[in-house]
Amino acid sequence: MAPSFTSRLFTTAAILYSAFHASAAPSTRQVLETSHGILSAPSSGVVVSQGSSFPFEFQDSNWCEDGYSSISVWLTNYAPTYLNVNSTGQFSEGEYSYYFGSYLIPNFGLPVLSGSTPPPSSLPLPGLNLSTGDEVYLAVVETGTSCPPGLHIPPQYELTETSIIVG
């Protein structure tokens, strides 16, 4: 089965805390581009039983050319889009089934940053009272920082997702 990924890049409006309170302007998301990372593993539609592990390999897009890219990994029971990612680059309570964790990817051949956790090569599908044949989604949110440089742009988030069938 060909991998099918959905990805969007967006950012929150650059609203300063003080300006927010002065104007009560709602924060908005902005889709900047559609480039995104690649989930090399698991392959789309892979069958995994609860409690078993599946391979995990994410190639970050690193569109901000950061030395290190922060990602967070989530499980949802619906096909997520960038609209499901909240203003801090997370899935809000009730919008996700499981949070695997956040990891730091070294770019440009840099060493693993001391005190950080690089992405693991496999992740466990937790027991979530799912039924055989249920489709769940693995969602990776990548954060880009400070790009374009010098403009004090807030963090920008990008979503890559793929499906897993509960075996």
Ligand X SMILES: *[C@@H]1O[C@H](CO)[C@@H](O)[C@H](O)[C@H]1NC(C)=O
Binding residues for ligand X, per CB under 6 A?
A: 86-88, 90-93, 129
- Of 58 and 98, nearer to ligand X (C-beta) is 98
- Of 87 and 163, nearer to ligand X (C-beta) is 87
Q: What long-range pairs does 110-118 form, CB within 8 A, spacing at least 24?
A: 110/67, 110/68, 113/68, 116/68
Alpha helices in the chain (DSSP H): 17-23
- Of 81 and 122, nearer to ligand X (C-beta) is 81
For the bound state, the minimum distance from the C-beta of residue 4 to ligand X, rounded and expressed in Å, comes to 26
- Of 51 and 109, nearer to ligand X (C-beta) is 51
For the bound state, the minimum distance from the C-beta of residue 66 to ligand X, rounded and expressed in Å, comes to 22
For the bound state, the minimum distance from the C-beta of residue 94 to ligand X, rounded and expressed in Å, comes to 9
Beta strands 9-12; 68-76: pairing state? unpaired
- The strand pairing partners of 125, in sequence order, are none
For the bound state, the minimum distance from the C-beta of residue 95 to ligand X, rounded and expressed in Å, comes to 7
